[in-house]
Amino acid sequence: MSISKTYNPKEAEDKWYSYWLNKKFFHSEPDGREPYTIVIPPPNVTGVLHMGHMLNNTIQDVLVRRARMQGKNACWVPGTDHASIATEAKVVAMLKEQGIEKKDLTREGFLKHAWDWKEKYGGIILKQLEKLGASCDWDRTRFTMDEDLSVAVRDTFIHLYKKGLIYRGVRMVNWDPKGMTAVSDEEVIRKEVNQKLYYIKYKIAEGDGHIVIATTRPETIMADTAVCINPNDERYHYLKGKKVLVPLINREIPVIEDEYVEMDFGTGCLKVTPAHDLNDYELGLKHNLPVIDILNDDGSLNEKAEILIGEERFSARKKIARLLEDAGQLEKVEDYKSQIGFSERTDAAIEPKLSLQWFVKMEEMAKPALQYVLEGDVKLIPDKFINTYRHWMENVKDWCISRQLWWGQRIPAWYNEKGEWVVAKDREEAAIEFRNAGKNFTEITQDEDVVDTWFSSWLWPMSVFDPSVCGHPEQKGNADINYYYPTNDLVTAPEILFFWVARMIMAGHEFRGTAPFKNVYLTGIVRDKIGRKMSKSLGNSPDPIELISKFGADGVRVGMLLCSPAGNDLMFDESYCEQGRNFANKIWNAFRLVKGWTVDPELVTEACNEASVKWFECRFNEALTSIENDYQQYRLSEALMSVYKLVWDDFCSWYLEMIKPAYQQPIDQATFDATKGFFERILKLLHPVMPFLTEELWHDEVFGKREEMDCCIVAPYPVAGEADAVLLGEMEIVKQVISEIRNIRNSKQISPKESLPLVIKSNSPIKYDDYLGIINKLANVSDVTFSNDKVSGASSFIAGRDEFFVSLEGNIDAEAERERITKELEYLHGFLKSVTIKLSNERFVQNAKPEIVENERKKQADAEAKITILEESLKMLK
């Protein structure tokens, strides 16, 4: 059966993905094999596939497919995150379009709408991952609000509360006035914005005079409870012990002293607003200042502001500025740029706010999580992130875990009519807790808040296998968690190294006594070709599904990996995917070439074909050793590039040309069988990166009839054999000889059909007789002779330490040849100088590895030999 002229990615993708699913190749159950486990960083149910997902999941799939082929019991657990803030915002927006306001619904009514939305839209991103070829165990798909996973969250809360690690208190939090909830640090996006710096006059309470204070937030002056100066600032010594009046409302506040104030910023005086600034809050605690919160949850001014009550905060800013100006209390206004936090989900400017919330004490839990990384039990790849991780963990702050939302796991705290509370799994247990504590109750109500989404996802590597162990460190766990946990690799983004990765390590230590994974591969940010982060707002992010449609899934996977070294941002351009598609086409066409050959079983194998087969066997083993080393070091981009060069350059451009029979002539059986074997090994090597193309070719009839389970996805991954270093070195010289002769042809415009005489002046032990068949076939030479003398009037070149002369029967341009040799001599003299300087450096010679020093000495000797040969050739031309 003939193979189609061109590769059809869509046809292969649809066919083989369905086949893999039907034959359960992705599914895993515990058995006697070594497990290899990855849990997916669960994408939000609100999400659709973007370029970051493409990169992250391509890397995961490469690792899983390779492990599966290595005979491991590979298990990649997929799932989605309920994403409290983002999902609730989506549902609220959907209801508004239907004319329904959230405030008009009961909690149960709203949650019904939310679940309906999740069922309709929540699985989109997972279906898109199938288009990429993700070989997840879809039978194990989990959702962070599955009933048993929600029970795990509840039990974890109760366990930590009873252990004294969860408490309720008033603290400064990031407040989203649009979402009307506290948000975590990782949900705050810092942006540089253009602002105004307002210079406001504060009248000194006793006597005449005033001081000027610069602020970007004049709308908060009504919440001021002090003015702070630096005790070392001589300009303001006269203010010590005095009071000033808050502009517009004339409330007296004290002047306090603290070295926190920067004397060279603004005017050197600082308004202290403990309720609306984190640093001011810390100052307030230190100096025992009162706290006046003038903002409602929606960001409008409340009655404590005394003026402009009900006004939205940014509208109030403009009106306050006008009132200050009218009162003669605004000295000047300047343009000013600064970093402002915005809610990742609603894009509202974050308001620092004192709020009664639930917190987890982090200091105790952070210590073992830090040790896992510092002692190498958890490897961060690349390790440049270790210092960042250490800094975070050594400066950890308590974690605000309560969210003022309805979508999520509700906090298991219960209140009586007096506001007293207990923590319990349900109302009945809460009643028992109240009675045991001697507290009366008529009615019990549950806390309205839900826990932070990260409080469920920090359990993810455990809860996907056995939720019952979460909150219960005494539990032994089921067969799944005892087999698959700890997992092997986690692939995620550096920006959630602390907010998710570190917390998973904490939870794993708490409930299983070990870290949840061995390696954390940290990807870079996908940027466009001019370095901008890809985003919808910039319009610079391509649709991944459209890319797959245009270039094929394999082409996109290759394109993503070619430009993605671990931990470094990648500058993505569609040309990488085009390169991936071209690579797929190259492999397809090479296969068509081999399949199209006629085989003659009676034909005797030529010596040149035997040499070619032996060389590529060694070259494959050499490359595979390097590729495996790259995989071991998680250098996936480098591993792919080595595979790319092996296939494109060594196999297609050299090996196939070496053994290709003459037009309409047959090939011998031994060479054909060896070539089929090479192709089969190449398909296995390529499969983790290019699963669809490789599976399609794997089942071609040229390999014989395959059994239904004999698929590339589970074919044994290649193992490197011996590589003859001498043979490989000699073949590099032979390839150089062929390339040089081809260059001479091109420069002299001599037809490839015209054979050229070749004279070899050998200064090395290479037996060129063994390679003359290859040289003749690929360079079309005749009358090959060996000589101890140079050949006058011939075009010459050096390969290794040997000299080669091609007689052009008077066609040689002596002047051009002299110019060429002179340029090469200039280069070699410069190269020799640099090597000599390196070798004369005693520190280098003493500290470098012996093999590196020896390699430099070989470079020096080779350069010296080539210079000698070229100088002699130049003399002959003169």
Q: 3-class SS at 7? A: coil
Phi, psi (rounded to 5 degrees) for 394? -80, -10
- For 156-186, give the DSSP string: HHHHHHHTT-EEEEEEEEEEETTTTEEE-GG
Sign of CA dihedral 42, 46, 51, 54: positive
Helix 553-562, helix 124-132: angle, nearest 10? 90
d(CA 151, CA 167): 20
Token representation of residue 682 = 């190449």
Return the closest-CA partner of residue 658 out of 617, 706, 707.
617
Return the closest-CA partner of residue 721 out of 793, 616, 566.
616
d(CA 533, CA 525): 7
- For 100-126, give the DSSP string: --GGGS-HHHHHHHHHHHHHHHTTHHH
Judge whether 777 and 742 are in contact, CB under 8 Å.
Answer: no
Rounded to whole angstroms, what are the CA distances from 353 to 273, 326, 345, 705?
11, 30, 18, 70
- For 753-818, give the DSSP string: TS-EEEEEE--SS--GGGTHHHHHHHH-EEEEEE-SS--TTEEEEEETTEEEEEE-TT---HHHHH
- What is residue 605's DSSP assignment? P
- Work out whether strand 413-415 and strand 445-446 pair parallel, antiparallel, or are unpaired: antiparallel
d(CA 297, CA 862): 77
Return the closest-CA partner of residue 341 out of 185, 186, 180, 188.
188
Token representation of residue 760 = 């070899």
Judge whether 7 and 588 are in contact, CB under 8 Å.
Answer: yes
Which residues, at least 6 apart from 436, have a Cβ–Cβ distance to it below 8 Å? none
> Which amino acid is located at 713 in the chain?
I
**Number of neighbours of residue 212 by Cβ within 10 angstroms:** 16
| HSE-CB for 463 with a 13 A CA cutoff | 30
Which residues, at least 6 apart from 272, have a Cβ–Cβ distance to it below 8 Å? 224, 225, 226, 227, 228, 256, 280, 283, 284, 289
Judge whether 668 and 600 are in contact, CB under 8 Å.
Answer: yes
Which residues, at least 6 apart from 35, have a Cβ–Cβ distance to it below 8 Å? 28, 72, 73, 75, 483, 484, 488
Cis peptide preceding 486, ω within 30 of 0? yes
Would you say 536 is a known binding-site residue? Answer: yes
Q: Per the annotation, where are the binding residues?
A: 536
Annotated binding site for ATP: 536
